Amino acid sequence: MRPPPLWLPSLLLCGLGAAVSLPDPLSQLAAPLNPKLHLYNDEQILTWEPSPSSNDTRPVVYQVEYRYVDGTWRSLQCTDIAETKCDFTEGDPLKGPLSRLLSVFLRVQAKRGNRTSDWVNLDPFLHYENVTVGPPKNISVTPGKGSLIIHFSPPFNVGGGATFQYLVHYWEKTGTQQVKGPCKSNSIVLDDLKPFRIYCLQTEAQLILKNKNIRPGGLLSNVSCHETTADASTRLQQLILIPVSIFALLLVLTGACFILFLKYQSRVKYWFQAPPNIPEEIKEYLKDPDQFILEALDKDSSPKDDSWDSVSIISSPEKDRGCVPNTMN
């Protein structure tokens, strides 16, 4: 039997080395799924779904990186985190907050031990261009003389290159909606309103960028309703109108009563005449019928009524005519 060639062991070793250097298909970890970016006011939050599970019981951690256009990838504060959310509202604490005027690129990767997944890249975003603007904060309404004064603060703080303007949507409780604004100040006065009326309103903030590009309107605040007060002239009119109205009402009532009295005069007299009264003597007689009524009347009559001073007899002139009085005995 012929011995094997000397070059065969070397060939076998080379083949073994090539086999050892082949990549392990299980070394590649599954990447995170469905990354989503949440931009509301100053909030910047990236969320994703976890990597598919496997037989490996070791925990999976994630890391997030960012970069600007033509920049290098840098780590955020979300490095080796177990949760599937990265809140970078305040940006990288070592490098400061992310710029809201420049386009930002993000990517996320899963890691388990020495195994890592592919990077999952998101589309670039510019915060001020993509953010959802909420309603103004700290809204307060002060009723005025036929007006409403609305005070508020911006939805979030903005740096150079951006500012806010505000609008107020208002309507009488049963009327049509109107809009006041836009105004750049943090207070708006709704004047020329009717006194003692209820008005409902909503406020809105709009973001204006450095290039004078106005973002679409933000979210409206909750509806609140308020009643206006009266101005000085209206109050004076009320002070005059109330007594005049009362006086006019009294005149109308008096006139109506007088007309009714004239129309039903006899009936009114009948209603208001005093009932017949029985004299006291008759009452006494009815109590004691045996007593003679004339004696009772004489007994109760006043002496002055039955007394006299003198009685004179006057003769008729016809009987004395033609007679001479006897002056002698």
pLDDT tens, residue by residue, 218-227: 999 999 999 9
The span from the CA of 24 to the CA of 26, in Å, is: 5
Report the pLDDT value the prediction gives residue 217, as an integer from 0 to 100: 83
Cβ-contact 208, 177 below 8 angstroms: no
The number of CA neighbours under 13 Å toward the Cβ of 319 is 3
Contact 186, 231 (CB under 8 A): no
Query: 135: Cβ–Cβ under 8 A, 6 or more apart, which residues?
Result: 155, 202, 203, 204, 205, 218, 219, 220, 221, 222
133-230 has the same fold as 27-129: yes
24/40: higher pLDDT? 40
CATH number of 27-129: 2.60.40.10
Please give the C-alpha separations between residue 94 and each of 68, 76, 90, 126, 162, in angstroms, as whole numbers.
17, 9, 11, 21, 25
The token duo for 149 is 């004064």
What whole-number distance in Å separates Cα of residue 243 and Cα of residue 136? 46
**Overall average pLDDT of the 38-50 stretch:** 94
Q: Model confidence over 154-188: pLDDT tens digits?
A: 999 987 788 999 999 999 988 899 999 999 999 99
For 141-150, give one letter per residue: b (16+ CB within 10 A) or e.
beebebbbeb
Give me the pLDDT at residue 249, please. Answer: 82
Domain ranges of the chain: 27-129, 133-230
pLDDT(110) > 90:
yes
Q: In what order do the strands lie in the sheet with 177-183?
A: 177-183, 162-172, 198-209, 224-227
Q: How far apart are CA 200 and CA 121, in angstroms?
A: 46
Report the SS3 class of residue 30: coil
Which stretch of DSSP H or E encloses residue 271? helix 265-272
Residues 45-98: tens digit of each pLDDT: 999 999 877 777 789 999 999 999 888 999 888 999 999 999 988 865 555 568
Question: Would you tell me how many other CB atoms lie within 10 Å of the CB of residue 272?
Answer: 7
Helix, strand, or coil (residue 172)? strand
Strand blocks (E) in 210-305: 224-227
Residue with tokens 């995170």, as numbered in its chain: 32
Query: Does residue 8 register a pLDDT over 80?
Result: no
pLDDT of residue 275: 67
Angle between helices 232-263 and 265-272 (to 10 degrees): 90
Which pLDDT score, from 0 to 100, does residue 14 have?
A: 37
pLDDT of 52 reads 79
Q: Please state, rounded to an integer, the average pLDDT across all residues of the chain.
A: 78
The first and second tokens of residue 223, run together, are 């509806």
Q: β-strand 162-172 against 137-144: which pairing, if any? A: unpaired
The pLDDT, as a whole number, for residue 316 is 52
Dihedral, CA of residue 255, residue 257, residue 259 and residue 263, to nearest 10: 180
CB 37 within 8 A of CB 125: yes
Mean pLDDT of 241-250: 76
CATH H-level, domain 133-230: superfamily: Immunoglobulins (2.60.40.10)
Distance CA 44, CA 106 (A): 12
Model confidence at 237, in pLDDT bands (50, 70, 90)? low
Q: Identify the H or E element spanning 319.
A: helix 317-320
Residue, of 245 and 158, whose pLDDT is higher = 158
| CA distance linking residue 47 with residue 150, whole number of Å | 37
